[in-house]
Amino acid sequence: MNLRSLSHLSNQELLRDLAAIVARDRGTTAEMLAHIAEVDDPRLYAQEGFPSMFAYCVQVLHMSEDTAFKRIRAARTARQFPAIFEAVADGRLHLSAVVVLAPYLTEENATELLAGATHKTRAEIEWLLAERFPRPDLPERIEALSDLPAPNLSAGPAAGHVKELPKSLVPEPVASSTPHGKVTPLSAERVALQTSIATAAYENLRYAQALLGHQLKTSDIAEVIERASEAIVREAEKQKFCATSRQGTGRHGSSADPRHIPAAVKRAVWKRSRPYGTTGSRS
């Protein structure tokens, strides 16, 4: 397709056509999930010499590892809860939503959870599940990073007899060798934070922990991070919005500059615009 052929379309026509294409894509995606489910259940991929649906999707259908995993997981979940097919087709649920919901869905709660996840982002659904199914805090774990070996991908159909793998053994996408920050909601008020920091930053955290000593309620370094984040926010807001703990108009009650915004007004604006309360609560 020559993309330059779209140049004759007006802005409204482009927006209209894009919405129509996305709608068709959702319908096609739901149909693809149904086909994956039907190929997967009787293990039709084995007839083609592949040990798993995952290998078939990657080697024959040329999906990426992440794409194959997500579609297979969504297809199996939709086969168990058929309402998902229609929800994907009409855009109420995206594939990431189905994958996130999958471990929590039961015959008893499926209708409620699917409705609650309608038109929500992945992050919003993770918060929804954390509030509905709270988990305990993760234990503190510090480990040094080393280079991870590159993943060994299968090179095609297995020679000779194919040994079929259980569905539960379908490989998941391999993590990147360069870790990124990850936030996992645990409950309405707690999250698990996984990230990588410089050794110097870690030493600073430990030093701050030693300086605070008995001021800390626990020996968990998470409390040091919480205190540090609160201090950073206070300092940054003070610099950006003239925020202070004092009330009043300050030393100068007015300004000759008509565009000048008094500090008291700035404070009121940022207090109203803060996404969470002063304690970090989402409520």
DSSP 99-152: HHHGGG--TTTHHHHHHHTTT--HHHHHHHHHHHS--PPPPP------PPPPP-
For the chain, what are the domain ranges? 11-133, 182-253+260-273
6-15, 66-75, 148-157, 269-278 — which is least confidently predicted?
A: 148-157
What pLDDT score does 193 carry? 82
- Render pLDDT for 27-77 as a digit per residue (tens, 0 to 9): 999 999 999 999 999 999 999 999 999 999 999 999 999 999 999 999 999
Question: Where is 183: in which H helix or E strand?
Answer: strand 182-185
Q: Is it the case that residue 128 has pLDDT exceeding 50?
A: yes
Q: Tell me whether residue 3 is exposed, middle or buried, using C-beta atoms within 10 angstroms of its C-beta: 0 to 12, 13 to 18, 19 or more.
A: exposed
57-60-66 Cα angle (round to 5)? 30
- Condensed to tens digits (0 to 9), the pLDDT of residues 179-222 reads 567 888 888 888 888 888 888 888 888 888 888 888 887 777 88
Q: Yes or no: say if 108 and 67 are a contact pair by the CB < 8 Å rule.
A: no
3-state secondary structure string across 187-207: CCCCEEEECCCCHHHHHHHHH
Query: Are 126 and 185 contacting, i.e. CB atoms less than 8 angstroms apart?
Result: yes
Q: Look at residue 167 in the predicted model and tell me its pLDDT.
A: 52
Q: Would you state the pLDDT for residue 283?
A: 40
Cα atoms in the 13 Å half-sphere on the side-chain side of 14: 9
User: CA-CA distances (angstroms) from residue 98 to 118, 196, 236?
Assistant: 11, 29, 39
- Taking the model in full, what pTM does it have? 0.60
Question: Does residue 221 or residue 174 have the better pLDDT?
Answer: 221
Neighbours of 28 (CB within 10 A): 11
Give 282's pLDDT tier (boundaries 50, 70, 90). very low
Residue closest to 128 by CA, chosen among 137, 136, 117, 114: 117
